């Protein structure tokens, strides 16, 4: 009987592992396909061989400029920003055990946004300074929220409520800055706030790439502790997890990724909110969804950007498309949580 139980458990693990590998492989293949589409499609559709020659450094009239100067930076910005948003969003939602607890809702991106808008419409700083300031602001915001929500014991509900309150206050500040700023500065700020891959340039990408390469392995390696944290504070402590240390490392790593992604592309709506639930639905319970969530984030950003570029008469920023996708899910989630008495 005992051997049969062990065999049953092992069979379940093998099935979950096969499903994880299949889903992750399909998501990676879809992300690769979308990356190729980003390089091939545009005002002119270039043959695959010409795009490969341009990427290898060969100078082809028209092709090299379009591919290396416009399409490649756009694709890389969407790739790394989507992965950062997806990974960080899933980390926040799992760690805080609440699907609403993502960087957009609890005010992290609003902290970056308010400083970025201030730099654009008041200080008129360079794009590099906007990026640096928004990263610092994102970190300062989450520290401020964490300190305000910190009582005798850590409370997830308190942190979310404080974050929502801070976000509302910061959004009001953004509205005020847009209202009193010069009219010629408003379009630039609105374009940044919408979330867009338009105008992405290669020299803007190294900070984003470096932060994602450094922080994402930390989050992935702490994935086993993330699963234990999902069981609750006391259960995690009884299993030997240093909950405060693990939570701080995960929060800092995730905030770094969200802040630098926001600084590069603007706050692309709902990607961090949608990636985790979609990955969980695809992979199923009992498996780590960290890497699939990052891949879902890539696919959402790249697919939304392609839709925004080619599906309509006018071209729309990627943030508008992800907003149209995410808003109905948010309403559905709120209705479901309300019916379950979780609100």
The confidence score (pLDDT) of residue 151 equals 66
Q: Name the phi and psi angles at 152, rounded to 5.
A: -65, -35
Residue 238 reports pLDDT greater than 70? yes
Position 230 scores a pLDDT of: 67
3 pLDDT higher than 70: no
Contacts of residue 38, Cβ cutoff 8 Å, sequence gap at least 6: 71, 74, 75, 78, 302, 305, 306
The answer, yes or no, to whether residue 41 has pLDDT greater than 70, is yes
Alpha helices per DSSP H over the chain: 2-40, 48-55, 63-64, 72-95, 108-118, 127-149, 156-180, 186-194, 205-221, 223-229, 233-238, 243-265, 271-283, 290-310, 318-339
Lookup: tokens for 11:
């069979």
Rounded distance, CA 141 to CA 267, Å? Answer: 15
Instruction: Quick: pLDDT tens for 84-129.
Output: 999 988 888 887 777 777 777 777 778 888 888 888 888 887 777 8
Q: Which residue in this structure is represented by tokens 């900070």?
A: 207
Set out the domains of the chain in order of their start, with CATH numbers: 1-340 (1.10.3470.10)
**Confidence at 294, pLDDT banded by 50, 70, 90:** very high
Residue 35: its pLDDT value, please? 94
| Residues 106/255, Cβ–Cβ less than 8 Å | no
Residue 253 CB neighbour total at 10 angstroms: 22
Identify the band that residue 233 occupies on the pLDDT scale cut at 50, 70 and 90. Answer: low
Q: Which long-range contacts (CB under 8 A, 24 or more apart) does 313-317 make?
A: 317/191, 317/194, 317/195, 317/196, 317/197, 317/198
Chain segment 259-290, per-residue pLDDT in tens: 888 888 888 878 888 888 888 888 877 677 88
Site of tokens 């259960």: 235
Encoded tokens for 60:
């082809």
Place of tokens 């028209």: 62
Residue 19 · residue 284 · CB < 8 Å = yes
Looking at every residue in the chain, the average pLDDT score rounds to: 82
Alpha carbon of 339 to those of 169, 277, 332, 336, 343: distances in Å?
29, 19, 11, 5, 9
pTM of the model: 0.85
């Amino acid at each position: 009987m005992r051997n049969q139980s062990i065999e049953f458990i092992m069979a379940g693990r093998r099935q979950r592992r096969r499903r994880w590998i299949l889903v992750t492989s399909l998501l990676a293949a879809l992300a690769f396909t979308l990356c190729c589409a980003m390089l091939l499609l545009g005002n002119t559709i270039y043959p695959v061989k010409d795009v490969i020659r341009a990427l290898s450094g060969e100078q082809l009239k028209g092709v090299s400029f379009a591919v290396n100067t416009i399409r490649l930076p756009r694709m890389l910005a969407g790739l790394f920003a989507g992965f950062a948003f997806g990974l960080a969003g899933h980390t926040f939602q799992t760690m805080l055990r609440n699907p609403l607890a993502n960087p957009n809702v609890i005010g992290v991106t609003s902290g970056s946004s308010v400083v970025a808008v201030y730099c654009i419409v008041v200080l008129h700083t360079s794009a590099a300074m906007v990026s640096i300031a928004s990263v610092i602001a994102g970190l300062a915001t989450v520290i401020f929220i964490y300190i305000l929500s910190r009582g005798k014991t850590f409370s997830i509900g308190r942190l979310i409520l404080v974050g929502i309150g801070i976000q509302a206050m910061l959004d009001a500040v953004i509205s005020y800055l847009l209202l009193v700023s010069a009219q010629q500065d408003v379009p630039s700020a609105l374009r940044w706030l919408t979330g867009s891959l338009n105008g992405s340039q290669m020299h803007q990408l190294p900070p984003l790439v470096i932060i994602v390469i450094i922080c994402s392995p930390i989050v992935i390696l702490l994935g086993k502790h993330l699963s234990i944290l999902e069981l609750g504070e006391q259960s995690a402590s009884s299993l030997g997890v240093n909950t405060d240390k693990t939570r701080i490392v995960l929060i800092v790593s995730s905030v770094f990724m969200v802040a630098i992604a926001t600084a590069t592309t603007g706050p692309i709506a709902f990607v961090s909110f949608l990636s985790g639930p979609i990955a969980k639905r695809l992979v199923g319970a009992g498996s780590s969804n960290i890497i699939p969530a990052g891949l879902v984030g890539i696919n959402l950003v790249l697919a939304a950007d392609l839709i925004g570029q080619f599906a309509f008469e006018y071209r729309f920023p990627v943030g508008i498309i992800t907003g149209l996708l995410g808003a109905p899910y948010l309403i559905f989630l709120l209705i479901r949580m309300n019916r379950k008495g979780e609100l």
